[in-house]
Amino acid sequence: MQLLMFSKMLKNIGGLSIEEAGDYIADLGFDGVDLTVRPGGHVLPEEAGSKLPEAIEILNSKGLSVPMITSNITSADEKYAEEIFKSASECNVQFVKLGYWRYMGFGKLKDQINHVKSDLKGISRLCEEYGITAGLHIHSGDFITSNAALLYLLLREYDPNVLCAYIDPGHMAIEGGLSGWKIGIDILQEYIRIVAVKDFGWFREGDKKWMARVIPLSEGIVPWNEVFKYLKCIGFDGPISLHSEYHNINLKGLIELTKRDLQYLKRVLKSIGFI
């Protein structure tokens, strides 16, 4: 198991280079980095062949591993998709997080499922060719992968070392805050290879309207002790990516909240014998 920091917010809020981000991530006490390789990310898709090896070399020099990258890929036919897989493989990256398929509205779901299945066939061929596991991330809202049972339908024909579930208990608790997250872990258990960690709270935004916002792990709606108890039961030992996706905050505040979240996460993992 490795504890990673998702590099997204260090780029978005701090505008930090790979070198600068690596220094912060290492100082915080992470094992490695979940590196963005997508438009606006630390590595741009068109530069994956040259810049990804350089980025990983810099991070490795700081004692950080890069077992996974986060991409926007949803089709093997996309420009730069194969280049990203090839470069990731050459850099010994194990996992590539895929992009998202938007839910297009009521009555269109079954056709969309067939479309996504077709996309996944092509992506699975890239995975097999380059020895990469592609992860489908659970994200609440109007996304095909917002629902764990639907994600299982998409994955069940594949070896989990080819296509896997990248679960996100925070998003799962938004969609199923009582037991939906638990049922999701249950149905996906043999496919779970990566876990995202962030937490949410519900806030009133007006009459009959509520909004979920990222808040510290110690204050949110996810029962983390239970989550990791079940993950331990199924033998999970993959990367855990901490998503410090806080907004309306400066770099100093982001680092402080990330430090708090990492300390809390380590306490939870230690309390149930994960570390």
Terminal-to-terminal C-alpha distance of the chain: 9
Give residue-wise pLDDT tens across range 123-172.
999 999 999 999 999 999 999 999 999 999 999 999 999 999 999 999 99
pLDDT at 15: 87
Give residue-wise pLDDT tens across range 74-119.
999 999 999 999 999 999 999 999 999 999 999 999 999 999 999 9
pLDDT at 197: 98
Residues 2-271, CATH architecture: Alpha-Beta Barrel (3.20)
Does residue 266 have a pLDDT over 90?
Answer: yes
Query: Mean pLDDT, to the nearest integer, of 216-239?
Result: 97
Does residue 14 have a pLDDT over 90?
Answer: no
Query: So where are the chain's domains?
Result: 2-271
Does residue 251 have a pLDDT over 90?
Answer: yes
pTM of the model: 0.95
Give residue-wise pLDDT tens across range 28-46.
999 999 999 999 999 999 9
Give the per-residue SS3 of the chain: CEEEEECHHHHHCCCCCHHHHHHHHHHHCCCEEEEEECCCCCECHHHHHHHHHHHHHHHHHCCCEEEEEECCCCCCCCCCHHHHHHHHHHCCCCEEECCCCECCCCCCHHHHHHHHHHHHHHHHHHHHHHCCEEEEECCCCCEHHHCHHHHHHHHCCCCCCCEEEEECHHHHHHHCCCCHHHHHHHHHHHHEEEEEECEEEEEEEECCEEEEEEECCCCCCCCHHHHHHHHHHCCCCCEEEECCCCCCCCHHHHHHHHHHHHHHHHHHHHHCCCC
Does residue 4 have a pLDDT over 90?
Answer: yes
Does residue 248 have a pLDDT over 90?
Answer: no
Give residue-wise pLDDT tens across range 170-216.
999 999 989 999 999 999 999 999 999 999 999 998 888 999 999 99
pLDDT at 205: 87
